């Protein structure tokens, strides 16, 4: 749940990177951390990792500057993608304001992408949230693998599998090089902050 501090003129939002194991969620945050000016980002917190597998979550706080006189503070989280960590994913999702669903392009992971998105929908429902009504973007990561002999899914197939109902913006990305990472972040930040502002305007408060 976003927090609006009228005294300090700050808006705090939580954006969660969700998706199947090894799709590249942590790599997105690592790229943002490595590239952003220290003025605009805090320390990256990685809670419990084994090799490149997240066992609990990653957290990266960002300060995106001012909108209408309010400081926009965003906390980026990643969930652990491995199937067995469902309970942790639910915990990390608590209070979510916006979502990036990161999809894996490997053909062998096609079912895992669909399963993970379905799991997200269910987990949100348990929290009385509707995925279709939330700020969401899709990121089709690891597009560099398209140029290798490894069988990969086309963008049209990923759209068919994941974006039929959602109909949200999609971004092709190579998180390891940073391609598409900031485009994804910009769009989800814009959508999340706008949604938070609209909700609070509707409830008669500013912003």
Ligand X SMILES: Nc1nc2c(ncn2[C@@H]2O[C@H](COP(=O)(O)OP(=O)(O)OP(=O)(O)O)[C@@H](O)[C@H]2O)c(=O)[nH]1
Give residues in contact with ligand X (CB under 6 A).
Answer: 19, 21-27, 52-54, 78, 80-82, 141-142, 144-145, 174-176
CB of 54 or CB of 88, closer to Mg ion: 54
The answer to whether residues 126 and 94 touch, using CB atoms and an 8 Å cutoff, is no
Q: Which residue is nearest to ligand X (CB)?
A: 81
What Cα–Cα distance (Å) separates residue 128 from each residue in 80, 116, 122?
22, 18, 10
Q: How far is the CB of 64 from ligand X (least distance, A)?
A: 22
As beta bridge partners, residue 76 has 15, 60
Give min distance, CB of 119 to ligand X, in A. Answer: 13
How far is the C-alpha of 101 from the C-alpha of 55, rounded, in Å? 18
- Looking at the Cβ atoms of 11 and 174, the one nearer to ligand X is 174
Q: Whose Cβ is closer to ligand X: residue 66's or residue 107's? A: 107
Question: Shortest Cβ distance from residue 78 to Mg ion (Å)?
Answer: 5
Contacts of 19 (CB under 8 A, 6+ apart): 25, 81, 101, 102, 103, 104, 113, 116
Write down the least CB distance from residue 90 to ligand X, Å.
Answer: 15
Closer of 58 and 97 to Mg ion (Cβ):
58
Angle at 38 between CA 36 and CA 44, to 5 degrees: 80
Residue 75 touches which of Mg ion, ligand X, none (Cβ within 5-8 Å per kind): none
For helices 110-126 and 86-93, the axis angle rounded to 10 degrees is 50
Residues that bind Mg ion (CB under 5 A): 25-26, 54
How far is the C-alpha of 185 from the C-alpha of 16, rounded, in Å? 11
Q: Which of 81/135 has CB closer to ligand X?
A: 81
Smallest distance from the beta carbon of 165 to ligand X, in angstroms?
23
- With CB under 5 to 8 Å by kind, the binding choice for 22 among Mg ion, ligand X, none is ligand X
Q: Contact at 8 Å (CB) between 32 and 185?
A: yes
Residue 191's binding partner among Mg ion, ligand X, none (Cβ under 5 to 8 angstroms by kind) is none
145 touches which of Mg ion, ligand X, none (CB within 5 to 8 A by kind)? ligand X
As given in the structure block, the two tokens for residue 202 are: 């509707």
């Amino acid at each position: 749940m976003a927090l609006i501090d009228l005294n300090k003129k700050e808006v705090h939002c939580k954006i969660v990177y969700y998706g199947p194991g090894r799709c590249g969620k942590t790599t997105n945050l690592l790229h943002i951390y490595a590239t952003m000016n220290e003025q605009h980002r805090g320390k990256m917190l990685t809670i419990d990792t084994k090799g490149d597998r997240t066992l609990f979550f990653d957290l990266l706080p960002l300060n995106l500057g001012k909108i209408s006189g309010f400081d926009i503070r965003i906390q980026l989280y990643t969930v652990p993608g491995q199937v067995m960590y469902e309970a942790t994913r639910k915990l990390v999702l608590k209070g979510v304001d916006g979502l990036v669903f990161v999809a894996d392009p490997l053909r062998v992971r096609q079912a895992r992408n669909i399963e993970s998105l379905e799991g997200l929908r269910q987990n949100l429902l348990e929290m009385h949230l509707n995925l279709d009504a939330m700020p969401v973007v899709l990121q089709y990561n690891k597009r560099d693998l398209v140029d290798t002999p490894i069988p990969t899914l086309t963008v049209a197939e990923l759209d068919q599998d994941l974006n039929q109902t959602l109909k949200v913006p999609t971004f092709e990305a190579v998180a390891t090089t940073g391609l598409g990472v900031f485009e994804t972040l910009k769009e989800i930040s814009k959508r999340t902050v706008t949604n938070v502002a609209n909700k609070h305007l509707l409830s008669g408060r500013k912003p």
